[in-house]
Amino acid sequence: MNQAKHIAIIMDGNGRWAQMQGLKRVKGHETGAKVVKAITTYCSNNENIERLTLYAFSTENWKRPRLEVEFLMKLLDNYLKNELPSYLKNNVKFEPIGDTRAFSKSLQKTIKMVEEKTAHCDGLVQSLALNYGSQDEILRAVNALKNSKKDITAEMLNNALDCKEDVDILIRTGGDSRLSNFLLWQAAYAELFFIDKLWPDFSSKDLEKIIKQFTKVERRFGGLK
Protein backbone atom coordinates (compact mmCIF):
# COMPACT_ATOMS: atom_id res chain seq x y z
CA MET A 1 0.00 0.00 0.00
CA ASN A 2 1.37 3.43 -0.94
CA GLN A 3 1.69 6.12 1.68
CA ALA A 4 1.86 9.67 0.38
CA LYS A 5 4.71 11.58 1.95
CA HIS A 6 4.69 14.61 -0.31
CA ILE A 7 1.46 16.18 -1.52
CA ALA A 8 1.54 19.15 -3.88
CA ILE A 9 -1.49 21.23 -4.84
CA ILE A 10 -2.22 23.73 -7.61
CA MET A 11 -4.88 25.72 -5.80
CA ASP A 12 -6.91 26.96 -8.76
CA GLY A 13 -10.38 28.43 -9.14
CA ASN A 14 -10.56 31.21 -6.54
CA GLY A 15 -11.56 33.89 -9.02
CA ARG A 16 -14.29 31.82 -10.68
CA TRP A 17 -15.66 30.77 -7.30
CA ALA A 18 -16.15 34.42 -6.34
CA GLN A 19 -17.50 35.52 -9.70
CA MET A 20 -20.08 32.73 -9.73
CA GLN A 21 -21.66 34.33 -6.68
CA GLY A 22 -21.41 37.87 -7.93
CA LEU A 23 -18.43 38.67 -5.70
CA LYS A 24 -15.11 40.28 -6.60
CA ARG A 25 -12.32 37.85 -7.53
CA VAL A 26 -10.33 38.80 -4.45
CA LYS A 27 -13.09 37.41 -2.19
CA GLY A 28 -12.22 34.04 -3.70
CA HIS A 29 -8.59 34.46 -2.68
CA GLU A 30 -9.67 35.36 0.85
CA THR A 31 -11.80 32.21 1.12
CA GLY A 32 -9.01 30.21 -0.52
CA ALA A 33 -6.66 31.24 2.28
CA LYS A 34 -9.05 29.67 4.80
CA VAL A 35 -8.87 26.41 2.85
CA VAL A 36 -5.05 26.59 2.95
CA LYS A 37 -5.31 26.71 6.73
CA ALA A 38 -7.77 23.78 6.91
CA ILE A 39 -5.75 21.57 4.54
CA THR A 40 -2.48 22.38 6.32
CA THR A 41 -4.00 21.45 9.68
CA TYR A 42 -5.38 18.23 8.23
CA CYS A 43 -1.97 17.26 6.83
CA SER A 44 -0.19 18.19 10.06
CA ASN A 45 -2.44 15.69 11.86
CA ASN A 46 -1.69 12.90 9.38
CA GLU A 47 1.46 11.14 10.51
CA ASN A 48 2.39 9.82 7.06
CA ILE A 49 2.44 13.19 5.32
CA GLU A 50 5.80 14.92 5.63
CA ARG A 51 5.44 17.72 3.14
CA LEU A 52 2.66 19.83 1.65
CA THR A 53 3.66 22.10 -1.23
CA LEU A 54 1.06 24.69 -2.24
CA TYR A 55 1.18 26.81 -5.39
CA ALA A 56 0.26 30.28 -4.16
CA PHE A 57 1.76 32.67 -6.75
CA SER A 58 3.41 31.76 -10.04
CA THR A 59 6.12 33.58 -11.98
CA GLU A 60 3.35 34.20 -14.56
CA ASN A 61 0.81 35.63 -12.10
CA TRP A 62 2.46 39.08 -12.34
CA LYS A 63 0.48 39.43 -15.60
CA ARG A 64 -2.71 39.95 -13.58
CA PRO A 65 -4.22 43.39 -12.90
CA ARG A 66 -2.09 45.39 -10.47
CA LEU A 67 -4.82 45.57 -7.84
CA GLU A 68 -5.25 41.79 -7.77
CA VAL A 69 -1.49 41.27 -7.44
CA GLU A 70 -1.34 43.83 -4.62
CA PHE A 71 -4.25 42.12 -2.87
CA LEU A 72 -2.52 38.75 -3.09
CA MET A 73 0.69 40.19 -1.59
CA LYS A 74 -1.22 41.75 1.32
CA LEU A 75 -3.19 38.54 1.83
CA LEU A 76 0.03 36.53 2.00
CA ASP A 77 1.58 38.96 4.47
CA ASN A 78 -1.51 38.86 6.71
CA TYR A 79 -1.84 35.10 6.41
CA LEU A 80 1.72 34.46 7.55
CA LYS A 81 1.51 36.92 10.45
CA ASN A 82 -1.89 35.69 11.65
CA GLU A 83 -1.09 32.01 11.25
CA LEU A 84 2.28 31.98 13.01
CA PRO A 85 0.70 30.73 16.28
CA SER A 86 -1.00 27.85 14.39
CA TYR A 87 2.27 26.89 12.68
CA LEU A 88 3.88 26.66 16.10
CA LYS A 89 0.93 24.93 17.76
CA ASN A 90 0.80 22.28 15.02
CA ASN A 91 4.60 21.93 14.86
CA VAL A 92 4.57 22.96 11.16
CA LYS A 93 7.73 24.24 9.54
CA PHE A 94 7.23 26.93 6.88
CA GLU A 95 9.53 26.68 3.89
CA PRO A 96 8.99 29.03 0.93
CA ILE A 97 10.08 28.03 -2.58
CA GLY A 98 10.38 30.36 -5.55
CA ASP A 99 12.25 33.59 -6.13
CA THR A 100 10.95 35.83 -3.36
CA ARG A 101 13.51 38.55 -4.17
CA ALA A 102 10.87 40.08 -6.45
CA PHE A 103 8.61 40.84 -3.46
CA SER A 104 8.60 44.05 -1.41
CA LYS A 105 11.16 44.29 1.36
CA SER A 106 8.46 44.16 4.04
CA LEU A 107 6.87 41.00 2.61
CA GLN A 108 10.32 39.40 2.34
CA LYS A 109 10.82 40.28 6.00
CA THR A 110 7.56 38.57 7.01
CA ILE A 111 8.48 35.47 5.00
CA LYS A 112 11.93 35.31 6.65
CA MET A 113 10.42 35.89 10.09
CA VAL A 114 7.97 32.96 9.82
CA GLU A 115 10.67 30.78 8.28
CA GLU A 116 13.02 31.49 11.19
CA LYS A 117 10.40 31.19 13.92
CA THR A 118 9.23 27.79 12.63
CA ALA A 119 12.72 26.46 11.75
CA HIS A 120 12.74 24.20 14.82
CA CYS A 121 9.36 22.60 14.06
CA ASP A 122 9.80 18.98 13.04
CA GLY A 123 6.27 17.99 12.05
CA LEU A 124 4.79 18.75 8.64
CA VAL A 125 6.74 20.98 6.25
CA GLN A 126 4.37 23.43 4.62
CA SER A 127 6.05 24.80 1.55
CA LEU A 128 4.40 27.76 -0.17
CA ALA A 129 5.38 28.34 -3.79
CA LEU A 130 5.82 32.11 -4.00
CA ASN A 131 6.84 33.73 -7.28
CA TYR A 132 7.54 30.15 -8.24
CA GLY A 133 7.93 28.73 -11.72
CA SER A 134 9.47 25.35 -12.34
CA GLN A 135 11.40 26.56 -15.38
CA ASP A 136 12.75 29.51 -13.40
CA GLU A 137 13.71 27.15 -10.54
CA ILE A 138 15.59 24.83 -12.93
CA LEU A 139 17.34 27.76 -14.62
CA ARG A 140 18.45 29.20 -11.27
CA ALA A 141 19.78 25.76 -10.29
CA VAL A 142 21.65 25.32 -13.58
CA ASN A 143 23.20 28.77 -13.24
CA ALA A 144 24.27 28.01 -9.67
CA LEU A 145 26.03 24.87 -10.95
CA LYS A 146 27.44 26.18 -14.19
CA ASN A 147 30.98 26.68 -12.88
CA SER A 148 31.17 23.10 -11.67
CA LYS A 149 34.28 21.33 -13.01
CA LYS A 150 32.40 18.03 -13.22
CA ASP A 151 29.43 17.12 -15.40
CA ILE A 152 26.18 17.96 -13.61
CA THR A 153 24.46 14.85 -12.27
CA ALA A 154 20.74 14.42 -11.56
CA GLU A 155 21.55 14.45 -7.85
CA MET A 156 23.48 17.71 -8.12
CA LEU A 157 20.69 19.36 -10.04
CA ASN A 158 18.07 18.04 -7.64
CA ASN A 159 19.96 19.42 -4.67
CA ALA A 160 20.27 22.84 -6.29
CA LEU A 161 16.49 23.13 -6.70
CA ASP A 162 14.29 25.00 -4.22
CA CYS A 163 12.19 21.87 -3.71
CA LYS A 164 14.37 18.78 -3.37
CA GLU A 165 11.65 16.19 -2.67
CA ASP A 166 9.82 14.05 -5.23
CA VAL A 167 6.07 14.54 -5.27
CA ASP A 168 3.78 11.55 -4.59
CA ILE A 169 0.40 13.16 -5.17
CA LEU A 170 -0.14 16.23 -7.34
CA ILE A 171 -3.62 17.74 -7.21
CA ARG A 172 -5.06 20.54 -9.32
CA THR A 173 -8.47 21.94 -8.44
CA GLY A 174 -10.52 24.15 -10.75
CA GLY A 175 -11.16 21.77 -13.64
CA ASP A 176 -8.11 22.35 -15.83
CA SER A 177 -5.66 19.56 -16.62
CA ARG A 178 -2.33 21.32 -16.84
CA LEU A 179 0.69 21.86 -14.63
CA SER A 180 1.13 25.61 -15.25
CA ASN A 181 4.88 25.45 -14.60
CA PHE A 182 4.62 23.70 -11.20
CA LEU A 183 7.23 21.16 -9.99
CA LEU A 184 8.02 19.75 -13.45
CA TRP A 185 11.16 17.97 -12.23
CA GLN A 186 9.81 16.80 -8.87
CA ALA A 187 6.53 15.47 -10.30
CA ALA A 188 8.25 13.10 -12.75
CA TYR A 189 6.49 10.11 -11.15
CA ALA A 190 3.72 11.83 -9.22
CA GLU A 191 0.17 10.56 -9.43
CA LEU A 192 -1.92 13.36 -10.92
CA PHE A 193 -5.41 14.23 -9.70
CA PHE A 194 -7.36 16.84 -11.63
CA ILE A 195 -10.41 17.87 -9.63
CA ASP A 196 -13.39 19.89 -10.94
CA LYS A 197 -14.11 21.54 -7.59
CA LEU A 198 -12.87 25.11 -7.25
CA TRP A 199 -10.24 25.64 -4.54
CA PRO A 200 -12.53 27.49 -2.05
CA ASP A 201 -14.86 24.45 -2.14
CA PHE A 202 -12.07 21.90 -1.61
CA SER A 203 -12.10 20.23 1.80
CA SER A 204 -10.08 17.79 3.86
CA LYS A 205 -12.73 15.17 2.99
CA ASP A 206 -11.79 15.58 -0.69
CA LEU A 207 -8.12 15.23 0.18
CA GLU A 208 -8.82 12.17 2.28
CA LYS A 209 -10.56 10.53 -0.71
CA ILE A 210 -7.56 11.24 -2.96
CA ILE A 211 -5.11 9.85 -0.40
CA LYS A 212 -7.21 6.70 -0.17
CA GLN A 213 -7.27 6.32 -3.96
CA PHE A 214 -3.52 6.80 -4.06
CA THR A 215 -2.93 3.94 -1.62
CA LYS A 216 -4.35 1.54 -4.26
CA VAL A 217 -2.38 2.79 -7.27
CA GLU A 218 0.29 0.47 -8.64
CA ARG A 219 3.41 2.62 -9.01
CA ARG A 220 5.91 0.93 -11.31
CA PHE A 221 8.48 3.69 -11.86
CA GLY A 222 9.21 2.21 -15.26
CA GLY A 223 9.74 -1.32 -13.94
CA LEU A 224 7.36 -4.27 -13.89
CA LYS A 225 5.18 -5.52 -11.06
Site size for Mg ion, by CB under 5 A? Answer: 1
Report in angstroms how near the CB of residue 211 gets to Mg ion at its nearest. 24
Q: What are the backbone dihedrals phi and psi of residue 102, each rounded to the nearest 5 degrees, phi first?
A: -80, -10
164 close to 95: Cβ distance less than 8 angstroms: no
Is residue 61 close enough to count as binding ligand IPE by CB under 6 A?
A: yes
Of the candidates 65, 55, 64, the residue with the CA atom closest to the CA atom of residue 132? 55
| Distance of closest approach, residue 209 Cβ to ligand IPE, in angstroms | 21
- Residue 39: what residue type? I
76 burial type by CB count under 10 A (0-12 exposed, 13-18 middle, 19+ buried): buried
Buried b / exposed e along 39-56 (16+ C-beta atoms within 10 A): bbbbbbebeebbbbbbbb
Query: Contact letters (x/-) for ligand IPE, 151-190, by CB under 6 A?
Result: -----------------------x-x-x-x----------
| Residue 10 within binding range of Mg ion, rule CB under 5 A | no
Q: Considering the rule CB under 5 A, would residue 58 count as an interface residue with Mg ion?
A: no
Rounded Cα distance between 9 and 12, Å, is 9
Query: Is-contact 85 94, C-beta < 8 A?
Result: no
* Stretch of 14-22, 95-103, 106-114, 201-209 lying at the interface with ligand IPE (CB under 6 A): 14-22
Stretch that binds ligand IPE, among 34-42, 57-65, 183-191, 204-212 (CB under 6 A): 57-65
Task: Determine, following the binding rule CB under 5 A, whether residue 173 of this chain makes contact with Mg ion.
Answer: no
Residue selected from 4, 6, 11, 12 as contacting Mg ion according to rule CB under 5 A: 12
The residue ranges that bind ligand IPE (CB under 6 A) are: 10-16, 55-58, 61, 72, 174, 176, 178, 180
The residue ranges that bind Mg ion (CB under 5 A) are: 12
